[in-house]
Amino acid sequence: MTQKTTRIKALSGTGLIVLFIALACALPIASESPPGGDANITIINPQSYPAVGGNWTVMFNTTGTADLRITAVNGTEFNKDLEFVAVRCGNEILNYELINNSIFVGNYECSETGTGTGKVLTSGKHHLEFKFGLQTHNPNIYYVLKKE
């Protein structure tokens, strides 16, 4: 941010007074995008039917650079219902953090198909929410089949 000085002219009884107001920093310009504002995510397979003990892989495409959060929602919990295995950009396995039932990858950028993979630990409906920059996707309900 840069310092900005604004002049304000005012008339007084004795003549023209020029005031200088120094602002600590420039205000954001309306045409500038907020961080992550140009980032987009598209879920490729919004419905899956994995079995208990198997892997559940969600594929997605992104444009731009932003923080990626994959959150277990609506009663689904990581390390109870799903054991998170990996986040990938193409074939490259990326580092992630598990924070408060969310997988977090800072400054995610990928020109290939990305994936999030978890091992299914329990049967029932499991839900994930994908947030990339300012965009959030709540894919359709994922049904997990009992292992036979």
**Residue 111 located in a structural domain:** yes
pTM for the full predicted model: 0.70
Number of domain units in the chain: 1
- How crowded is residue 78: how many other Cβ atoms within 10 Å of its Cβ? 19
> What pLDDT, on the 0 to 100 scale, is given for residue 30?
33
**Residue 31 located in a structural domain:** no
If you average pLDDT over residues 121-144, what whole number do you get? 77
**Residue 23 located in a structural domain:** no
Q: Which two tokens stand for residue 113?
A: 């198909």
**Residue 64 located in a structural domain:** yes
| Residue 104 pLDDT exceeds 70 | yes
| Residue 116 pLDDT exceeds 90 | yes
**Residue 101 located in a structural domain:** yes
**Residue 69 located in a structural domain:** yes
**Residue 54 located in a structural domain:** yes
Q: What are 69-92's pLDDT values in tens digits?
A: 999 999 999 999 999 999 999 999
**CB under 8 Å to 69, separation ≥6 — which residues?**
102, 103, 104, 105, 129, 130, 131, 132
Give just the sign of the alpha carbon dihedral 114, 105, 129, 30.
Answer: negative
Query: In CATH, what number is assigned to the domain containing residue 117?
Result: 2.60.40.10
Using alpha carbons, select from 30, 33, 24 the residue that is nearest to residue 1. Answer: 24
> What pLDDT, on the 0 to 100 scale, is given for residue 67?
97
**Residue 76 located in a structural domain:** yes
Q: Which domain holds residue 124?
A: 40-144
CB 81 within 8 A of CB 115: no
